[in-house]
């Protein structure tokens, strides 16, 4: 039996991905599934852990990257494979694994159960499959969600308003980076750690070629003011972000990040935000996740 942890509110048009429709597709594919909805206040982690203990053949995250993150928090290090039905708005993890975005095709892939091992990243005690960051991005996410809660804005409108406001007022963050060589102190508008390498130049900006290289990639911009970040994005799309030398990056297996003036920092991981005590200890966890992927 497959356990499907489904976020009924995921994406911009959740009605087309109803639980009845998902259940019907699994039944038609010859893979009976138990669907568990993520209603308000329900956390995917204990649901996924219970599925592992009961011997589920797979645990499926049906939602966006946030839903995937919570399910992976339980599955990482186990033998139980992850299936993904990408119902979210961006679906970064699914795209990097070349998973189909079509609902019918995604269920067919899960029913075939072709499994591949991929890496996850860890910051302190939290797992991430895409990236984790501090600085401007967590501030944007927090303000975006506040606008949605207080003013009822839609996701994209709230994101646009929050981004414009934060870029005007955010002053950057001073951090100490220790990757096992020579620790450095920098001031930067953002510090991002990717679970494997991201493309930072060209039209595929933000994609990953592989998720099983067993390393973290760090990105930051010590010579850029927050207000100049839109220009950096344009340079990246034109293929000149690395040539301009405003974006710095390096690979590592472990990284420690501290702040000289702050005991806690807002940390984003896979689109979610939490406040964490410093120092932040990042590490790669190679091959920790079994994930169901298309046969290639």
- The pLDDT tens digits for 60-117 are 999 999 999 999 999 999 999 999 999 998 999 999 999 999 999 999 999 999 999 9
Residue 238 in this model has a pLDDT that exceeds 70: no
SS3 letters across 118-186: EEEEEECCEEECCEEEEEHHHHHHHHHHHHHHHHCCCHHHHHHHHHHHHHHHCCCEEEEEECCCCCEEE
Has residue 118 been placed in a domain? no
| Distance in angstroms (rounded) separating the CA atoms of residues 225 and 218 | 18
Number of domains observed in the structure of the chain: 2
Residue 121: is the preceding peptide bond cis (ω within 30°)?
A: no
Give the residue from 82, 101, 93, 95 showing the smallest Cα distance to 17. 101
238 and 100, same structural domain? no
65 and 29, same structural domain? yes
Mean pLDDT (whole number) for 214-223:
93
Per DSSP, the three-state class of 66 is helix
184 and 82, same structural domain? no
Of 57, 82, 113, at which residue does a domain stop?
113
- The pLDDT tens digits for 160-210 are 999 999 988 888 999 999 998 889 999 999 999 999 999 887 767 789 999
243 and 158, same structural domain? yes
- The pLDDT tens digits for 1-45 are 999 999 988 865 555 567 889 999 999 999 999 999 998 788 999
| Domain coverage including residue 18 | 2-113
| Distance in angstroms (rounded) separating the CA atoms of residues 16 and 34 | 19
- The pLDDT tens digits for 45-54 are 999 999 999 9
- The pLDDT tens digits for 244-289 are 667 889 999 999 999 988 899 999 999 899 999 999 999 999 999 9
- Residue 235 binned pLDDT confidence (cut-offs 50, 70, 90): low
Instruction: State which H helix or E strand residue 188 sits in.
Output: strand 184-188
Single pTM value for the model: 0.92
């Amino acid at each position: 039996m497959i356990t499907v942890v489904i976020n009924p509110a995921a994406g911009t048009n959740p009605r087309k991905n109803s639980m009845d429709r998902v259940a019907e597709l699994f039944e038609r594919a010859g893979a009976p599934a138990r669907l568990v909805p993520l209603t308000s206040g329900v956390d995917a982690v204990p649901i996924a852990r219970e599925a592992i203990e009961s011997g589920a053949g797979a645990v499926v995250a049906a939602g966006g990257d946030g839903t995937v993150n919570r399910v992976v928090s339980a599955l990482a290090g186990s033998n139980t494979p992850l299936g993904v039905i990408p119902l979210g708005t961006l679906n970064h993890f699914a795209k990097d694994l070349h998973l189909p975005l079509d609902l019918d095709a995604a269920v067919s892939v899960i029913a075939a159960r072709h499994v591949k091992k991929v890496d996850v990243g860890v910051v302190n005690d939290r797992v991430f499959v895409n990236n984790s960051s501090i600085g401007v991005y967590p501030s944007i996410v927090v303000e975006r969600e506040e606008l949605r809660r207080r003013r009822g804005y839609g996701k994209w409108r709230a994101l646009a308003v929050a981004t414009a406001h934060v870029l005007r007022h955010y002053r950057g963050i001073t951090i100490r980076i220790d990757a096992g060589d020579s620790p450095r102190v920098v001031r930067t508008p953002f510090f991002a750690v990717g679970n494997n390498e991201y493309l930072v130049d060209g039209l595929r900006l933000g994609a990953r070629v592989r998720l099983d290289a067993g390393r973290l990639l760090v990105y930051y911009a010590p010579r850029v003011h927050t207000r100049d970040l839109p220009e950096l994005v344009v340079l990246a799309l034109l293929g000149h972000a690395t040539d301009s030398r405003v974006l710095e990056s390096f690979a590592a297996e472990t990284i420690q990040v501290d702040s000289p003036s702050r005991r806690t920092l807002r940390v984003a991981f896979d689109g979610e935000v939490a406040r964490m005590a410093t120092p932040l200890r990042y590490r790669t966890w190679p091959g920790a996740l079994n994930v169901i992927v298309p046969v290639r």
